[in-house]
């Protein structure tokens, strides 16, 4: 089955291709000739995921899905949350700067509980629907805590700082195989995969 994933983030693509496996051919934005950085101006993860999926559906007419992920830290009242990509001032997807700011904000605080949440928006063609589409959302989360310093070299984003519940190593130390079994994204993707397989609904 072929489906477009509205991203050019190579790390996310690698994770999602591995999760969906050989039953799916996942195409990136580059694969469909889209080089636009779709603005993420929503107030929630769901709104941002929908903005990206809707942009692709409206401009390319293909069934597609998009994800948006946030890291929510309890003692920071859920920050960085929907602003995770631009947490450090005057930056955009600068993981080092974001992690530095997070460690600074947390300081020596002993409550370091946090969770990652992913929302996937899927839009598939539906000729029966008045707007020609069927839109669905799938969510996944993982709880854990923020380490006092960075650990490990694998993964991306905040992975060196996030230690999932039940583990003593960060996502960046555990590596992609373990991360993919337990992560926020893998839980959302499992729901997406189940839906796509049961509805045979790709492009
Ligand atoms: P976005 O979903 O690409 O907008 O990501 C929001 C922010 O969270 C970015 O700074 C990403 O690097 C980070 N991020 C997204 N997914 C993950 C993940 O699985 N692990 C660690 N950081 C992530």
Quick: pLDDT tens for 113-146: 999 999 999 999 998 999 999 999 999 999 999 9
Q: Which residue has the tokens 């000739």?
A: 33
Q: Select which of 43, 68, 92, 177 is catalytic.
A: 68
Residue whose Cα lies nearest atom 6 of ligand 1: it is 85
The per-residue pLDDT for range 162-199, each reduced to its tens digit, is: 999 999 999 999 999 999 999 999 999 999 999 998 88
Judge whether 133 and 126 are in contact, CB under 8 Å.
Answer: yes
Identify the sign of the CA torsion 25, 193, 19, 63. positive
158, 150, 203, 202: which is closest to 184 by C-alpha?
A: 158
Q: How many helices (DSSP H) and strands (DSSP E) are in the chain?
A: 5, 7
The predicted pLDDT at position 201 comes to 59
Q: How far is CA 107 from the centre of its chain?
A: 26
Cα(157) to centroid(ligand 1), Å: 5
The answer, yes or no, to whether residue 200 has pLDDT greater than 80, is no
Angle at 67 between CA 61 and CA 71, to 5 degrees: 160
Predicted confidence (pLDDT) per residue in 57-111, tens digit:
999 999 999 999 999 999 999 999 999 999 999 988 899 999 999 999 999 999 9
- Is 68 catalytic? The answer is yes
pLDDT at 43: 97
Q: How far is the CA of 185 from the centre of ligand 1 (A)?
A: 10
What's the mean pLDDT in 12-38? 93
Atom of ligand 1 nearest to the CA of 98: 10
Rounded distance between C-alpha atoms, residue 43 and residue 172, angstroms: 28
């Amino acid at each position: 089955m072929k489906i477009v994933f509205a991203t050019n983030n190579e790390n996310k693509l690698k994770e999602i291709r591995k999760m969906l496996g050989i039953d799916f051919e996942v195409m990136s934005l580059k694969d469909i000739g889209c080089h636009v950085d779709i603005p993420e101006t929503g107030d929630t993860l769901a709104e941002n995921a929908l903005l990206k999926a809707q942009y692709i559906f409206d401009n390319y007419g293909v069934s597609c899905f998009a994800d948006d992920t946030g890291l929510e830290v309890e003692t920071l009242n859920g920050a960085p949350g929907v602003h995770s990509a631009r947490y450090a001032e005057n930056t955009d997807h600068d993981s080092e700067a974001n992690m530095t700011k997070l460690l600074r904000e947390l300081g020596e605080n002993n409550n370091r509980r946090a969770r990652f949440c992913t929302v996937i928006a899927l839009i598939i063609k539906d000729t029966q629907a008045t707007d020609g589409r069927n839109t669905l959302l799938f969510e996944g989360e993982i709880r854990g805590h923020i380490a006092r310093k960075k650990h490990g070299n694998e993964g991306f984003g905040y992975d060196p700082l996030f230690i999932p519940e039940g583990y003593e190593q960060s996502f960046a130390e555990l590596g992609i195989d373990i991360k993919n079994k337990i992560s926020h994204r893998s839980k959302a993707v499992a729901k997406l995969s189940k839906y796509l397989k049961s509805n045979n609904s790709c492009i």
